[in-house]
């Protein structure tokens, strides 16, 4: 993976040159590619994911075999009443988009199950900036929350998936990743049942500590919002599996 920085007027783009070379016709990425209107005007939006910011599923070019996910950065809480998309500028490499892009690229290069990062864009407006991130879509993947809500799913199958989730989290923890928003929507399960971790905004690499337990507790609270009767024992069982 070869990360390269481009400047386009007021915008700075950090892109994976290899990914863009593999996508015919899209290697000259522009700030417009990070706006929903660009894709909407070309009828290349194939769907969207729930959550803050309304991540969009994109077809990079007509007939492309792979899809992208466009996620604009959006504020939550009370600060969103002042601005839902502007952040304080403290330097390019401290922007949320560049930090997430570099972290995701590092984990992806180590073979960890994260979506391949395509590009991040930061547009500066004086003392503030706006940003967006594009990643490759995982084919056939559904959020863990959807699996929890699937009443037709046999308990044995769900428990197997949850154990796989536990093993996945352990892999990331062993690499030092503190996922500050580990919840049932930021874990995706693909068609073969392999779990993936998404949305690494504000995440960081750390030495082992109590944050690991805090990650698991946050996930437990999230899962119980979707199913208060769910047993998370399979996740802990998988987490303790070191093989």
Q: Catalytic residues, which ones?
A: 181
- Count of positions (residues) in the chain: 243
Query: Where do runs of H (alpha helix) occur along the chain?
Result: 17-21, 36-41, 96-109, 144-148, 155-174, 211-226, 233-239
Q: Are 73 and 132 in contact (CB under 8 A)?
A: yes
What long-range pairs does 82-88 form, CB within 8 A, spacing at least 24? 83/128, 85/130, 86/125, 86/128, 86/129, 86/130, 87/128, 87/129, 87/130, 87/131, 88/127, 88/128
């Amino acid at each position: 993976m070869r990360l390269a920085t481009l400047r386009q007027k007021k915008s700075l783009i950090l892109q994976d040159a290899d990914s863009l070379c593999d996508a015919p016709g899209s290697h000259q990425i522009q700030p417009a590619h990070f706006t929903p209107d660009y894709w909407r005007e070309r009828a290349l939006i194939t769907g969207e994911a729930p959550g803050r910011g309304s991540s969009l599923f994109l077809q990079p070019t007509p007939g492309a075999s792979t899809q992208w996910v466009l996620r604009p950065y959006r504020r939550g809480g009370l600060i969103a009443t002042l601005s839902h998309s502007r952040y304080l500028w403290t330097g390019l490499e401290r922007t949320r988009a560049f930090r997430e892009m570099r972290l995701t690229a590092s984990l992806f290069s180590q073979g960890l199950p994260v979506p391949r990062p395509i590009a991040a864009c930061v547009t500066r407006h004086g003392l503030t900036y706006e940003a967006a991130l594009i990643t490759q879509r995982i084919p056939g993947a559904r959020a863990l929350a959807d699996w929890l809500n699937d009443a037709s799913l046999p308990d044995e199958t769900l428990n197997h998936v949850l154990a796989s989730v536990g093993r996945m989290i352990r892999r990331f923890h062993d690499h030092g990743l503190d996922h500050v928003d580990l919840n049932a929507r930021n874990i995706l399960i693909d068609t073969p049942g392999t779990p993936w971790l998404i949305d690494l905004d504000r995440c960081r690499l750390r030495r082992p500590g109590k944050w690991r337990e805090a990650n698991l507790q946050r996930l437990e609270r999230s899962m119980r919002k979707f199913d208060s009767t769910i047993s998370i024992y399979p996740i802990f069982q998988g987490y303790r599996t070191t093989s």
